[in-house]
Structure 1
Amino acid sequence: MGETQSVYIMLSDTGTLFTNLIKTYTKAPYNHASISFDQELKDMYSFGRKNPKNPLHGGFVKEDILTGTYSRYKNTTCVIYKLEVTPREVEKMKRIMDVFIRKDDKFLYNILGVVGVSIKEPIEFSNSYFCSQFVSEVLKRSGIKLWDKLPAMVTPEDFRKSNQLELIYEGKLFDFDPVKKQIINH
């Protein structure tokens, strides 16, 4: 199979009230999904809190482990997967991401979509996503198909069950070596 590159999918649990509420329903260990273009998780994106202190103000975010929401939740647990993709697929993903970055104020957090997953009915709005829907949409638009379901129906748990992803780490986010090195050098 020619040259490949890696992208990383991180599923996480900050242990906040909001995430614990979701967990009581999903019974899944992780309820937030992000996609990163590097193993150090410096170039990582998702749909989540715009402001670490306000769970209700959500949208497209470039996540910063050292200064963003995660910095407030030092006991965050996570699982990190590696996905081998072609350079062309990475290029497509980055182009899609550029649109989100340039128009980030146009995108909203799809809280109703989360409800939709729970009632097994996709609830989609244009420019509105929840975290796992966003990651799934980016992969799908780049030609990567992990499941036979609409992005609006994909949960973080679906990533855990995908046999196309290679598990590279599970544990506390701040104990992940590439993150630990950043903290030391910060």
Structure 2
Amino acid sequence: MKTIYLLLTKSNSFVSKAIYYMTQDDYTHISISFEESLQPMYSCARKYTYTPLPAGIKNESLLSGFYLKNSSIPCALYRIKVTEDKYNKAKALLNKILEDEGDYKYNLMGLVLCHFELAYRRHHYYFCSEFVSEILAHSQILELPKMPSLMKPSDYLLFEELECLYKGNIHDLVQSRGIS
């Protein structure tokens, strides 16, 4: 069996605060990693530390950039055990997306419509939970209760298949897991 990791966070950024205001969810962002070290970790997010746009597919690091400057934000780390075949299928889709990383944009309209439970799928456009959901659904790792464009980070708290490894803040997560 192989393991895939999901990191849920809620920052103090304008976008995160806006999402929280609309949803009141504990977490407003999700990332995926295929490594126990959580490096690399991928999502659809801001490209630069200080500005929410432009945004797109991003390799997020807990040791630099946004997370380093915001290490006190709350987070929850989950893992799911999967077959090697499903793991490889998920990783292959991620690698295919990364090959054309510059073609992918942030699905801002989809994010807004998700709040109203209106599916809005655009080719090469994702918001964070739509991106993670697409990978997990495509590789048949999770049977999603709704379309990827309707999934929110907090929806992942409801999956019994996911095991919570940690709840706290980014700084303590990095320390407790010895991420360097």
Q: Does 1:68 pair with 2:65? A: yes
Q: Is the 8 A contact 1:9 1:35 kept in 2?
A: yes
Counterparts in 2 of 1:157-168, with a 5 A limit?
A: 157-168=154-165
Query: Given the alignment of the two structures, is residue 14 of structure 1 paired with residue 11 of structure 2, yes or no?
Result: yes
| Secondary structure in structure 2 of the residue aligned to 1:176 | helix
CA contact (8 A) 1:9 1:34 kept: yes
C-alpha distance in 2 between matches for 1:143 and 1:181:
31
| Residue pair 2:62, 2:174 contacting (<8 A) in 1 also | no
Choose which of 32, 35, 47 in structure 1 pairs with 2:32. Answer: 35
Determine if contact 1:146/1:164 at 8 Å carries over to the other structure: no
2:81 equivalent among 84, 97, 120: 84
Letter in 2 for 1:147: L
Cα offset, 1:160, TM superposition: 0.8
Percent identity of equivalent pairs: 29
Aligned partners of 2:9 and 2:30 also within 8 Å: yes
Does the 8 Å CA contact 2:32/2:42 hold for their aligned counterparts? yes
Query: Does the aligned pair in 2 maintain the 1:40–1:179 contact within 8 Å?
Result: no
Q: Structure 1 residues 103, 179: CA separation in 2 closer, same or farther (over 3 Å shift)?
A: farther
Q: TM-score, structure 1 length as denominator?
A: 0.92
1:153 offset after TM fit, Å?
0.5
Deviation at 1:48, TM superposition (A): 0.2
What residue identity is the alignment partner of 2:145?
D
Q: What is the CA–CA distance in structure 2 between the aligned matches of 1:9 and 1:65, rounded to whole Å?
A: 13
Note the residue ranges of structure 1 that are not aligned, 5 or more in a row: none
5+ residue gaps, structure 2, are: none
Match of 2:100 in 1: 103
> How many equivalent residue pairs?
180
Distance 2:27 2:55 in 1: 18
> When the two structures are superposed, what TM-score results if normalisation uses the length of structure 2?
0.94
**Does the 8 A contact of 1:40 with 1:178 survive in 2?**
no
**SS of residue matched to 1:66:** coil
Q: Deviations over 1:69-119 (max 9, x none)?
A: 211212121011110101111111111111121110000000111111111
For 2:103, the aligned partner's letter is K
Q: Distance in 2 between matches of 1:20 and 1:88?
A: 38
Q: Distance in 2 between matches of 1:52 and 1:165?
A: 29
- The one-letter amino acid of 2:75's match is C
Cα distance in 2 for partners of 1:160, 1:66 equals: 25
In structure 2, C-alpha distance between the alignment counterparts of 1:101 and 1:68, rounded to whole Å: 20
